Structure 1
Amino acid sequence: MIGVLAALTALRLLVAGATPLAPDEAYYWVWSRVLQPGYLDHPPMVAFFIRAGTLLAGEVALGIRLMGPLSIALASVLLARAADALFPDRRPGIWAAALFNATLLVGVGGILMTPDLPLLVFWVAALWALARLHVTQDGRWWLAFGLFSGLALVSKYTAGLLGIGVIAWLIACRGAWHWWRDWRLWAGGVLAAAVFAPVILWNAAHGWASFVKQGGRAGVETGGFTLRFLGELLAGQAGLATPLVFILCVTGTALAVMAWVRRGDAAAALLAALVVPGAALFTWQATGSRVQGNWPAILYPAACILAAAFITPRLARLRRPAVALGATLALLAYIQAAIAPLPLPRRLDPTLARLGGWDAFAALVEQERARTGAGFVAAEEYGLAAQLALRLPPGVPVVALNPRWDLFDLPRPQSLGPAVTGLLVQSERRDSVPDWPGAEPVQRAEGSLVRARGGVEAERYRAFRVTTRADLPAAAVMPRP
């Protein structure tokens, strides 16, 4: 297993360095240059991961993504050991890790540096600590669980489902009731809260901005029951987990619940508690609003163990095809993202929309800046501003215009000087009226600025002439590599 995992990690590192960064990854790179206990969108762990990687490999794609493949490899080992510890008679660890890596959520998502990646890693580490707790009955593992749970919360707020699952296990499983009397359970909870406390304090000092933003995504959007979002959720999970892995995970979880109900299997109950409450919550939310495909990723570590340990012999024959299918789909995604041999249009190729043509586009923007004599480049979309900050030549200031930048300790555009002329770039998919007061359209004989990959258009952009002024809305000067 270790040899295969090492080869897989080496491949992922190669792809991580060869594939252009997505706008969100560039945005999180900005976080890594302004480390703080919280941000509008998420807690800060992804920024720490990127900072560690860039210190080792530089502020390039490989450095920004370095910690992803390495930490996923560690998580795979921990998942396998947790599975073997919980079910020593079946030894499902290798298959659990294989199914876990066969999902596109890990195979592709393990390369992209987003908050889901550290969340998934620390979730698996917490699961491993729970497995050691259950097997050894040593209450000191509650402290390890509390530490990893706190780090998961510092990665993304959906880590709260980890605590909900454990509480459900402690209530529903008679064999776990004795832990309520153990002080180390409560000490683990205190430790998790202490690790998460800086995020709470940052939110308290900033009007609870991050909690309000993410809390607003947890409700429902429609006034009544609808099947549209539920269908999207099921189809999305079948796609992101890959169809065969999804079937095995659902079946394994159902059989584990039956084993707990019929035989009181405490190990099955523990893992089911890390899947069923979260699955029920996402399913309920999908009856009234859209659930993003990456949100349920945290359910798959435990579900993959159950798929490896509880499926019937007939379904067990699907494990090899499931791993092969996942590996094939991930490899195809790697190839298309890195070298794009298929000239697919934007609507059929998400790698084009998010990853394609950024270096050439930055060069085009720089040509336009030089032609117009602009002293800086500006953008309203945070991802676009971050991409330009990473890619424009040294010495060119990049200004980002968005209310979120008020929550960062970054210089304001006024620091560039009074009445300095700049070039604002705006996607044609947005409203044509920029938020920058006094913006004037730039007329180009060539028409729009076009971002493209291999001659296939990804997006069109307008250009405006702007000037630094005292009455600017929230804006900041981006860090540069």
Structure 2
Amino acid sequence: MTRAETKHIHARAGTWAPWAESSAVVLALVLLATIARLVYLAWFNPYPLIEDEAHYWEWSRRLEWSYYSKGPGIAWAIAASVKLLGTSEFGVRAPAAIAGAIAALAMAGLARDAMGDKRAGFFAAVCLMLSPVFQALSLLSTIDMPYVACWMLAVWAAWRCLHRAGTWSWVGLGAAIGAGVLFKYTALLLVPGLLVYAVARRGRLRLHRRAGTLVLGAIAIGLLGIAPVVIWNAENGWPTVHHLLGHLGVKGGDMPEARETYSPLWTLTFLVSQLGLAGAVGVLAVIGGVKALRDHDVSSDGPRESAVFLLLAAAPIFLFYLFVSFVSEGEANWAIAGHATLIPLAAFGLVRGMDRFTVLMARWRGLAEPRPRWGFLLRRPETATQVAWHIAIGIGLVAGIGMLRPDWASSLPGLGRYVPVARLTSATSNAGQVSELLASLREQTHSEPMVISQHYGRASQMAFYLPGRPTVFCSSSLMAGRRCQYDLWADTDLRRATGLIGRPAVLLGATREQWAPWFERVEEIGELRGEHKRGRPAFLGYGFKGIGAGAGGS
């Protein structure tokens, strides 16, 4: 077929999804998705707060400038939400859905500006919403989705600063990084990537004539986000530093046990987990990155330049956590912002690849019957982009529907062992039995009982789900475990809290031997109803004696 014939078919086939160029379509998509999530969280959500969510809610009850392991952003967001919506699961989780909307809009804006195709904006938002990890983070009130939202706002602002001669974009850049630090300190890892890009590509930048002043302004605004964390840590003995060093397993950290010897499985697990998080959208990002780097448009803000910018912006966070995997066992979601940064490349690869697929389909349909086999599995044409896109849609829909009702998903043949329903739903059943035990202790002893948990997450869940939402205590640091925020509040620190001597308690976790020195008598009652972790019993303690020297284990 000649080039003229191919151009004719391309014109007749048309551009794939031309309707996606409209900004109104992007806004409608994000608005509908956000409303759907909020409605689900308000009326149809079947599972209680997970441990981290409950702990951040505990923070929100005691607003401070920062906290033991994180900045104050998540606590402030939850506090504002429950003030508006009431103290409920919906009130705690609503910020996650709002952050998901902000991240999607920032993603769309970045892709629309940077990739040279307005359709990329819409499909960047779609790719974000189809990624199972981002679906989950838009429903659970952890630090991750607000952090990703701030990160994407910062990346978008940075692009406009460097390639649109923006003025207010510098304000947005500083504000987004500063706000991101309030949620997660690794928001600062965006800075080295931007610096490397700005220096390496300085001849291709389009800066405002007063760029120097604007840079200083952005730095000043960003420091406003760091200031509360620094001031609070300085006043409290730098607990966050000790916590982060503990994550790395190095001297000065808050991990009391000896450091584990490096295992190659740590690094291998990190690499495999990143491939799993990327999924089919990650395949599209690879396709898009290759297409962009090979693009014939070599202008200072064309797809090739955009690809370099996005890759350098994402690189530091991946490299940092790759390094961490050599000194400590990490979590898969730690590098989540890097994945988000590359989604505009996925959108670019998608629209370019589907344009080609549209042309191939038009050519194939123009052939006489019986048409030849042009695909690998199907008779019609197939391309890597089209296959990855359809897989992404399938995975996104299945995962999205499944996580809305994990209890239903677990009932399907073969899935029960892989869906942690008990872990997601045990908090309310545990709290129900603890409430009964508290009532029994109250009747037996004529004294007000308390709850002490070995783990901060379980303590926080009990604080949320027990009637009256009482003060609950955590014994982790007193039992050879890590310190946590409960150790810093006077009313939850078992060594400083007043009015506890002589009171009975429901004790969660640990062993009878660890609890015995603190009470006149300890009785084991076995695992609580719905307990998802085997070998984690509960106890009744009578007559709290206080935390003596050496009590509770070494």
Does the TM-score normalized on the shorter chain lie above 0.5?
yes
Correspondence for 1:244 among 272, 275, 280: 280
**Distance apart, 1:399 and its partner CA:** 2.9
Determine if the alignment matches structure 1 residue 105 to structure 2 residue 133: yes
CA distance in 1, matches of 2:35, 2:549: 45
Determine if the alignment matches structure 1 residue 285 to structure 2 residue 335: no
Correspondence for 1:462 among 511, 532, 538: 538
Equivalent residue for 1:369?
A: 438
Determine if the alignment matches structure 1 residue 49 to structure 2 residue 77: yes
Equivalent residue for 1:7?
A: 32
Determine if the alignment matches structure 1 residue 190 to structure 2 residue 220: yes
Equivalent residue for 2:237?
A: 207
Matched pairs, number? 465
Equivalent residue for 1:350?
A: 420
Q: Secondary structure of 2:332's partner?
A: coil
**Distance apart, 1:31 and its partner CA:** 0.3
**Distance apart, 1:341 and its partner CA:** 3.9
**TM-score of the superposition, structure 2-length normalised?**
0.75
Q: Secondary structure of 1:434's partner?
A: helix
Equivalent residue for 2:530?
A: 452
Equivalent residue for 2:460?
A: 386
Contact 1:122–1:149 (8 Å) recurs in 2: yes
**Distance apart, 1:28 and its partner CA:** 0.6
CA distance in 1, matches of 2:334, 2:31: 27
Shifted more, 206-215 versus 230-239: the winner is 230-239
Q: Deviations over 1:415-453 (max 9, x none)?
A: 6635332223223xx455336743366546xx5132328
Contact 1:96–1:307 (8 Å) recurs in 2: yes
Contact 1:336–1:351 (8 Å) recurs in 2: yes
Determine if the alignment matches structure 1 residue 127 to structure 2 residue 155: yes
Read off the aligned partner of 1:289 and give its amino acid letter: S
CA distance in 1, matches of 2:506, 2:416: 24
Equivalent residue for 2:491?
A: 410
Q: Deviations over 1:155-177 (max 9, x none)?
A: 10111211122112112213239
Q: Deviations over 1:378-429 (max 9, x none)?
A: 22211111111111122855333344323235365676635332223223xx
CA distance in 2, matches of 1:184, 1:364: 58
Q: Deviations over 1:251-273 (max 9, x none)?
A: 43455566699877432222111
- CA RMSD of superposed structures (Å): 3.3
Contact 1:365–1:449 (8 Å) recurs in 2: no
Q: Deviations over 1:41-97 (max 9, x none)?
A: 111101011111111221111100011112211221221122111123453111111
Determine if the alignment matches structure 1 residue 64 to structure 2 residue 92: yes
**Distance apart, 1:16 and its partner CA:** 3.1
**Max Rg structure:** 2
**Distance apart, 1:350 and its partner CA:** 3.1
Q: Deviations over 1:92-117 (max 9, x none)?
A: 11111111111122101111111112
Q: Deviations over 1:219-254 (max 9, x none)?
A: 787766x5422331233223334x211222344345
CA distance in 1, matches of 2:507, 2:416: 20
**Distance apart, 1:194 and its partner CA:** 2.3
Where does the alignment leave 5 or more consecutive residues of structure 1 unmatched?
Answer: 475-481
Identity, % of aligned positions: 24
CA distance in 2, matches of 1:418, 1:361: 23
CA distance in 2, matches of 1:295, 1:247: 20
CA distance in 2, matches of 1:244, 1:269: 21
Shifted more, 337-346 versus 316-325: the winner is 337-346
Q: CA 1:423–1:471 in 2, change beyond 3 Å: closer, same or farther?
A: closer
Equivalent residue for 2:519?
A: 439
Q: CA 1:244–1:339 in 2, change beyond 3 Å: closer, same or farther?
A: closer
Read off the aligned partner of 1:333 and give its amino acid letter: M
Contact 2:111–2:124 (8 Å) recurs in 1: yes
Contact 2:474–2:492 (8 Å) recurs in 1: no
**Distance apart, 1:126 and its partner CA:** 1.0
Q: Secondary structure of 2:528's partner?
A: strand
CA distance in 2, matches of 1:463, 1:218: 34
Q: Secondary structure of 1:278's partner?
A: helix
Q: Deviations over 1:151-207 (max 9, x none)?
A: 001110111211122112112213239679622112211210122111011111122
Superposed, 1:264-275 pairs within 5 Å as 265-275=304-314
Read off the aligned partner of 1:266 and give its amino acid letter: E
Read off the aligned partner of 2:491 and give its amino acid letter: L
CA distance in 1, matches of 2:183, 2:439: 40
Q: Secondary structure of 1:66's partner?
A: helix
Q: CA 1:54–1:342 in 2, change beyond 3 Å: closer, same or farther?
A: farther
Q: Secondary structure of 1:113's partner?
A: coil
